[in-house]
Amino acid sequence: MDSRNKPFDVAVIGGGVIGLSVAWRATQRGLRVIVLERSDPGGATSRVAAGMLAPVSEAVLTEQPLLALGLASTRRYAEFVAELEEASGLGCGHLRCGTLLVGRDGDEALALERELALRSSLGLEVRRLRASEARVLEPALAPTLRLALDIPDDHAIDPRRLTAALAAALRGAGGTVRGQAEVIAVTIGDGRVGGVQLADEQISCEHVVVAAGSWSGMLAGVPDDAQVPIHPVKGQILELRDPSGAGLLARVLRMRGGYVVPRGDGRYVLGATMEERGFDTTVTAGACFDLLRDAIELVPGLAELAIEQLSAGLRPATPDNLPAIGPGAAAGLHWATGHYRHGVLLAPVTAELVVGGILGDDQLDGIDASAFAPARFATVGAGA
Ligand code: GLY
């Protein structure tokens, strides 16, 4: 790559968990990287993520490639976080807490039996628990429980601390992060990327990585037939705080339609709605009610906690619910977007794949990324 006359090798559009992870890993490999974020780094969807690291629980059973990618990222996570914490000097709130999947009625218990069978067939650790056994592990659970699965390897992380650590590590490694820097267009000429266009500035570079989440499809300059169609799916989460500190719940709880994620310090995140409302991020009384109703039914003690914040974020969804990771139609154009409900989990493996693509590495050990090729949308983009 000959980019000696250009200030950067790589411009990453989007400073969320995906963009920052790609940028950090690229900088570590010796590339000169700038991250351009339209709001504040980590200030959009990543700020509203719950941070569950749960590849099987989150994957729909028919999405086998996604499951494989999630498992590959899970295998990388502990090392990724340890290296990041060391590099940044900041903690990421990585809780090796395990998850309890809970069923409250016959239908939910049946769904848990399927989850148990899938996990067992994959050789993943899972333990079937009667309600009374689950309540020994988590005494705050209501007695109305029907069945539970104990999943010791599904963990959680605090996405806000994770993005802060990524931004610090990236800067420490020599990368540049700019907030309030909205990219309007990708400059493409003669079939290759030349840089990015901001409102009042052009930045030249050899490679552009589109990691702009729900905003990824709005960039001018990308030909229609090279676009990745992304639409936002709104999620509202509610944060609670126990004034007496941690202890009410140790594990992540997942039930049909929602979850409760402990942060390990007396804070709990209740999530999340799934709403098709375009780019609307209004927080609503109805969402607050629904989230509290389901969680308090399961853990009555949550009713005593203080409300900290209700927030809304926009998950970036593709038509097939799989992310778009890898090279695009123009030379030097790369996509790292469409991670939908899985951005935090998939950040380490996405960064590896994208940086590998930029540097022309051989295929990463055992990862088949063909299902995530952005080119699968070529005709969709052209027709849109
Ligand atoms: N990954 C959690 C959510 O999308 O709600």
How far does residue 49's CA lie from ligand 1's centre (Å)? 7
Q: Are strands 333-337 and 207-210 parallel, antiparallel or unpaired?
A: parallel
Q: Which atom of ligand 1 is nearest to the CA of 235?
A: 5
Tens digit of pLDDT per residue, the chain (384 long)?
Answer: 455 577 899 999 999 999 999 999 999 999 999 999 999 999 999 999 999 998 876 656 556 889 889 999 999 999 999 999 999 999 999 999 999 999 999 999 998 998 898 888 888 889 999 999 999 999 999 998 999 999 998 999 999 999 999 999 999 999 999 999 999 999 999 999 999 999 999 999 999 999 999 999 999 999 888 899 999 999 999 999 999 999 999 999 999 889 999 999 999 999 999 999 999 999 999 999 999 999 999 999 999 999 999 999 999 999 999 999 999 989 999 999 999 999 999 999 999 999 999 999 876 667 889 999 999 998 654 444
Contact indicator for 60, 322 with CB cutoff of 8 Å = no
Phi, psi of 28 (to 5 degrees): -60, -30
Residues of the chain with CATH 3.50.50.60: 10-81+159-230+319-377
Q: Hey, whose CA ends up nearest to atom 4 of ligand 1?
A: 341
pLDDT in tens, 254-298: 998 899 999 999 999 999 999 999 999 999 999 999 999 999 999
Take atom 1 of ligand 1 and give the residue whose Cα is closest.
341
Supply the pLDDT for residue 36: 98
Where are the CATH 3.30.9.10 domain residues in the chain?
98-154+232-317
| pLDDT value for 61 | 56
H-assigned helices in 104-158:
106-121, 131-137
Q: Is the CB of 235 under 6 A from ligand 1?
A: yes
**What integer pLDDT is reported at residue 4 of this predicted model?**
59
At residue 384, the pLDDT reads 40
Pocket test for ligand 1, best of 315, 321, 339, 346 (most atoms within 8 A of CB): 315
List the alpha helices (DSSP H) in the chain.
17-28, 55-58, 64-88, 106-121, 131-137, 159-172, 285-298, 343-359, 378-383
Residue 68 CA, ligand 1 centroid: distance in Å:
18
| The pLDDT of residue 120 | 87
What would the CATH number be for the domain defined by 98-154+232-317?
Answer: 3.30.9.10
Residue 341 tokens read as 């409900």
Q: How many CB atoms lie within 10 A of CB 364?
A: 14
Residue located via tokens 């990824």: 216
3-state class of 112 per DSSP?
helix
- CATH number given to 10-81+159-230+319-377: 3.50.50.60
Distance 329 CA to ligand 1 centre (A): 30
Q: Are 352 and 303 in contact (CB under 8 A)?
A: no
What lies within 8 Å, CB to CB, of 264 at 6+ separation is: 93, 95, 97, 246
Q: What are phi and psi of 113, to 5 degrees?
A: -60, -40
Residues present in the chain in total: 384
Can you read off the two tokens belonging to residue 17? 């968990």
* Cβ atoms of residues 288 and 271 within 8 Å: no
| CB-count burial class (<10 Å; 0-12, 13-18, 19+) for 266 | middle
DSSP 8-class letter at 180: S
Instruction: Decide: 272 in ligand 1 pocket, CB within 6 A.
Output: yes
341 Cα nearest atom in ligand 1: 4
Phi then psi for residue 63, to 5 deg, are -95, 65
